[in-house]
């Protein structure tokens, strides 16, 4: 693991996104909570939160962090669900991995919930949109 003992404790945030691409009729089922397995979005929200909290258990060499806030949002697109997760902590290292793991966990959960009605769904576009805090300062895809 990287030695972070000399780093300054600061407020750190990271925002990540990802997409589950599927047919428009499946998007309707997702947002109407009308899937055979049940209401996908609340389940995916909980999966995202658990994924963020469990990141050091599943990603080798990640430091365990006291996560102060996790926000999970779902946007309805014509043929996709866009997932955005924001993670915030006060600590000595960033939370990009926690945000990415949260988005991945939510996307996998949506995929699992829809696979009975669309075997061809695709997860893609998982990336960090922005980060703030720490020595390297603020960064976003819009101002790199």
Query: Rounded CA gap, 105 and 116, in Å?
Result: 18
Spatial contact of 32 and 55, defined as CB atoms under 8 Å apart: no
Known catalytic residue: 124?
no
Catalytic, out of 112, 118, 124, 144? 112
Q: What is the DSSP string of 43-71?
A: HHHHHHHHHHHTHHHHSTTPPP--EEEEE
Q: Which are the catalytic amino acids?
A: 112
């Amino acid at each position: 693991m990287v030695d972070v003992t000399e780093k300054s404790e600061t407020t750190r945030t990271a925002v990540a996104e990802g997409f589950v691409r599927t047919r428009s009729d499946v998007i309707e089922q997702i947002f109407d909570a009308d899937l055979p397995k049940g209401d996908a979005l609340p389940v995916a929200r909980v999966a995202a939160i658990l994924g963020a909290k469990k990141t050091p258990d599943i990603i080798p060499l990640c430091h365990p962090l006291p996560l102060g806030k996790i926000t999970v949002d779902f946007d309805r697109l014509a043929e996709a669900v866009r997932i955005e997760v924001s993670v915030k902590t006060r600590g000595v290292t960033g939370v990009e991995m926690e945000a990415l793991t949260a988005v991945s966990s939510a996307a996998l959960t949506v995929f699992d919930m829809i696979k009975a009605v669309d075997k061809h769904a695709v997860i893609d576009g998982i990336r960090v949109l922005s980060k703030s805090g720490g020595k390297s300062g603020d960064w976003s895809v819009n101002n790199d």
